[in-house]
């Protein structure tokens, strides 16, 4: 295995709509690197507008991987991504010892940088049933179920995140063992050194940027994209902000205006959860979102040269 001191993975994190994509492209150009996307919804080719996939000119500006490379009908999870991303990085490091990773999905970032706990394969019907219960009985029902089956996990995870609750429950139900018993096992060593860059702004600025992005998505025909996916609304890939709210509109539960306001509100909540997750890593180097690119490049170069 190549020594980790020879390879560097620069990872860009931060809340949604903060400017991670633009920074990743600037850094990729400077370091002549490729970009690994670890946004857990940009994998899906049917979901372009609502997941803020980079524009065509942005995708051309640097080589991107793991964008629109899967279908919503594929059975693809964070464990699969960990294996695929590490394999791709092994290839890329042969060409350039510095590579870029970007995304707002904290679990997917940690999967690549630190490794995942091992969980056995679970029958897909269990997740399907849990998603159905989420739609029919709401999140509180699932939260109470998790509290009964695995109190330790109930107290540890982002309990208002339906994907996290469903993931923990499917393990509890599918293995008849608490999700928490599979956590914190020894992980495989990585063959790269991680340099983590975070972008931040005042809360009011983040919220304003989120609101503008949602308005732009609506202007770019997000309703049409969501309408085409409505019949598949129970699929796991579609249990995400920007689509759930519009599905409720199509079902007659929301007005269009209320659905859009809910997208903005839930995206703001998501951004808050992202920051809570990423701030746990004390090694992340944080920059204001308007920081000059040369300042960031200098800091990264100093870190690399210091190893």
Annotated binding site for substrate: 16-21
Separation of alpha carbons 149 and 128, rounded Å: 19
Binding residues for ATP: 14-21
Contact 107, 274 (CB under 8 A): no
Quote the radius of gyration of the chain (alpha carbons, Å): 20
Give the strand order in the sheet containing 98-102: 64-65, 35-37, 98-102, 8-13, 193-200, 285-288
Binding residues: 14-21
Beta carbons within 8 Å of 304's beta carbon, 6+ residues apart: 8, 98, 195
């Amino acid at each position: 295995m190549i020594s980790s001191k020879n390879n560097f993975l620069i990872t860009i994190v931060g809340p949604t709509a903060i400017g991670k994509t633009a920074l990743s492209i600037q850094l990729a150009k400077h370091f002549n690197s490729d970009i690994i996307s670890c946004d857990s919804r940009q994998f899906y080719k049917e979901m372009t507008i609502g997941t803020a996939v980079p524009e065509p000119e942005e995708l051309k500006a640097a080589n991107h991987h793991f964008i629109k490379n899967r279908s919503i009908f594929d059975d693809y999870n964070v464990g699969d991504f960990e294996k695929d991303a590490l394999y791709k990085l092994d290839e890329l490091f042969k060409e350039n010892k510095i590579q870029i990773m970007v995304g707002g999905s904290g679990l997917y970032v940690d999967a690549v940088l630190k490794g995942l706990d091992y969980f056995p394969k679970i029958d897909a019907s269990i997740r399907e049933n849990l998603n159905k219960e989420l739609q029919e009985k709401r999140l509180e029902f699932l939260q109470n179920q998790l509290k009964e089956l695995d109190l330790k996990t109930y107290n540890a995870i982002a309990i208002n995140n339906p994907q996290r609750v469903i993931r923990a429950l499917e393990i509890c139900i599918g293995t008849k063992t608490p999700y928490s018993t599979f956590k914190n096992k020894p992980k495989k060593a990585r063959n790269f050194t991680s340099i983590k860059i975070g972008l931040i702004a005042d809360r009011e600025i983040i919220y304003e940027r989120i609101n503008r992005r949602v308005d732009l998505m609506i202007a770019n025909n997000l309703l049409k994209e969501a309408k085409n996916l409505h019949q598949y609304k129970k699929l796991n890939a579609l249990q995400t902000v920007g689509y759930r709210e519009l599905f409720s509109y199509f079902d007659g539960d929301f007005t269009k205006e209320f659905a859009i306001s809910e997208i903005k509100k839930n995206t703001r909540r998501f951004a808050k959860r992202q920051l809570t997750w990423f701030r746990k890593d004390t090694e992340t180097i944080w920059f204001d979102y308007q920081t000059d690119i040369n300042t960031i490049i200098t800091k990264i170069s100093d870190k690399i040269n210091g190893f």
